[in-house]
């Protein structure tokens, strides 16, 4: 997507205007242009390619949209313009929205296709605007690319390589705990979920920033493929399970933006990376696991594995006493039933965090929705043989009970938020193709910028 943007002051002038501004714009044009507009009956909607009436070459492009303040107004613009480089002429603030929308609309997951050159490019003269937009777009691109990658090429070891490279890029540090080492270092639930796979389970750990700065910890569910385990999913439910590491993709895209923007925080990123596979040593329904925190968990369903890998990572994360703890996960279908696939739900009892996130989401047009940690539902996780089960036996309130499970592993004193996201676009929208997608990442970044900058 970033290939769609160039930093230069040359190109065919491109102006984005609201349709309500068409009459005022038309009156400023030459008589020749005004007569031509009347002749073609242009009414101020969509793309207008204005030729030089001397040599016939393209002189300027104008795109009239319903609102220039909508992030996605220019999401399909690149596909409506002829090949070439277009110099954006709008003001600084509007240019950020336009350029972000334009670039996100140019996204194409192409590693397995014959490469093609980006034929339509947007030139941005302001270096500050260019750098900021490229950083945003790169972060979203990371999320989309990682989610879209076939599972065979995005197993725990591949994710470790990506995370290690990111740490090197920003002079951070990276470490990992692999396979049976997880048992030796007391991460039993991560090991239990991933032990049946030939791709060894891992806990990936990236650290960056000033050790004396406020601590921000990100935890992402990294189930690189989810068969459901012995509670095997049907074929239809398994088809998109390469995206079950979407939480990990989200925190990596977010971490990239935090580090690129040099946010003054002490950042830690933790990803429990596993494949939920089936083998003779697979986790069984009815098994009991003692978690890192010491809580025993009876396995009601092996397909409720995401919360198992997350709970050990969260238990470790709170040991640092972070100022802010954020986890992302493609955790429940129940959240999709409640909110649909395009609106991520989040859970937190920290009122300041909730209001800050909601304000940030509105500011950057990255909608999120606050859901309740309804404590009366904790009884649905009760077990007769262990401290709790890994999921409720019934279908109701599944997103809430999953969040309540995770809350058991987070100290009350920690400012914590849990995101339950789809990580996938089921339909094509302007700037948002079908496939992997980042939900809530820009909202969280804005919240962190407002809190720590």
**Is position 307 annotated as part of the catalytic site?**
yes
Which contiguous run of DSSP H or E holds residue 9?
none
* SS3 call for 5: strand
Tokens standing for residue 388: 């709790």
State how far the Cα of 395 lies from the Cα of 435, in Å rounded to an integer. Answer: 27
Tokens standing for residue 88: 């954006």
Tokens standing for residue 144: 């989309």
Judge contact between 134 and 2, C-beta under 8 A: yes
Tokens standing for residue 347: 């859970």
Q: Is 381 left (phi over 0), alpha (psi -120 to 50) or beta?
A: alpha
State how far the Cα of 398 lies from the Cα of 392, in Å rounded to an integer. Answer: 7
Tokens standing for residue 216: 């921000």
Tokens standing for residue 9: 């002051």
Q: From the candidates 96, 293, 307, 446, which is the catalytic residue? A: 307
Cα 271 to its chain centre, rounded Å, is: 14
The DSSP-derived string for 81-98 is S-SEEEEE-S-HHHHHHH
**Is position 233 annotated as part of the catalytic site?**
yes
Tokens standing for residue 111: 């590693």
Beta strands in 221-305 (DSSP E): 222-226, 266-276, 288-290, 296-298
Judge contact between 266 and 210, C-beta under 8 A: yes
- Over its C-alpha atoms, the chain yields an Rg (Å, rounded) of 24
Q: From the candidates 138, 207, 233, 378, which is the catalytic residue? A: 233
State how far the Cα of 208 lies from the Cα of 206, in Å rounded to an integer. Answer: 7
Identify the residue whose tokens are 């806990």: 203
Judge contact between 124 and 130, C-beta under 8 A: yes
User: Which residues are known to be catalytic?
Assistant: 233, 307
């Amino acid at each position: 997507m970033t290939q769609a943007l160039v930093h230069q002051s040359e190109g065919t002038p491109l102006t984005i205007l609201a349709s309500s501004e068409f009459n005022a714009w038309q009156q400023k044009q030459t008589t020749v242009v005004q007569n031509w507009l009347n002749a073609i009956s242009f009414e101020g909607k969509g793309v207008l390619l204005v030729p030089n009436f001397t040599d016939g070459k393209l002189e300027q492009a104008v795109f009239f949209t319903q609102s220039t303040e909508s992030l996605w107004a220019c999401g399909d613009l690149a596909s409506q313009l002829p090949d070439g480089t277009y110099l954006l002429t709008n003001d600084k603030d509007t240019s950020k929205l336009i350029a972000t929308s334009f670039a996100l609309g140019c996204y194409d997951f192409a590693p397995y296709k014959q490469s093609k050159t980006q034929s339509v490019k947007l030139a941005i003269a302001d270096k500050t605007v260019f750098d900021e937009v490229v950083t945003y777009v790169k972060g979203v691109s990371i999320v989309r690319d990682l989610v879209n990658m076939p599972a065979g090429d995005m197993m725990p070891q591949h994710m470790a390589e990506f995370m290690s490279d990111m740490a090197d890029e920003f002079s951070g540090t990276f470490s990992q705990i692999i396979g049976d080492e997880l048992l030796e270092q007391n991460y039993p639930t991560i090991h239990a979920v991933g032990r049946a796979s030939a791709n060894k389970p891992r806990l990936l750990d990236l650290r960056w920033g000033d050790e004396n700065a406020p601590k921000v910890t990100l935890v992402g569910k990294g189930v690189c493929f989810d068969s459901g385990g012995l509670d095997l999913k049907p074929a239809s439910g398994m088809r998109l399970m390469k995206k079950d590491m979407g939480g990990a993709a989200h925190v990596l895209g977010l971490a990239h933006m935090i580090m690129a923007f040099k946010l003054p925080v002490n950042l830690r990123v933790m990803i429990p990376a596993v494949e939920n596979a089936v083998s003779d040593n697979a986790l069984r329904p009815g098994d009991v696991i003692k978690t890192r925190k010491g809580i025993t968990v009876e396995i009601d369903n092996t397909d409720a594995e995401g919360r198992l890998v997350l709970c050990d990572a969260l238990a470790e994360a709170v040991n640092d006493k972070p100022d802010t703890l954020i986890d992302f996960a493609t955790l429940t279908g129940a959240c999709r039933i409640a909110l649909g696939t395009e609106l991520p739900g989040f859970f937190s009892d920290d009122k300041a965090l909730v209001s800050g996130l909601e304000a940030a989401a509105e500011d950057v047009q990255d909608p999120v929705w606050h859901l309740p940690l309804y404590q009366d539902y904790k009884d649905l996780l009760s077990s007769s043989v262990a401290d709790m089960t890994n999921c409720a036996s019934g279908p109701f309130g599944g997103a809430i009970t999953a969040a309540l499970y995770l809350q058991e592993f987070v100290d009350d004193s920690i400012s914590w938020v849990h995101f339950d996201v789809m990580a996938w676009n089921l339909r094509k929208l302007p700037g948002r193709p079908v496939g992997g997608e980042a939900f809530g990442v820009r909202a969280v970044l804005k919240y962190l910028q407002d809190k720590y900058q």
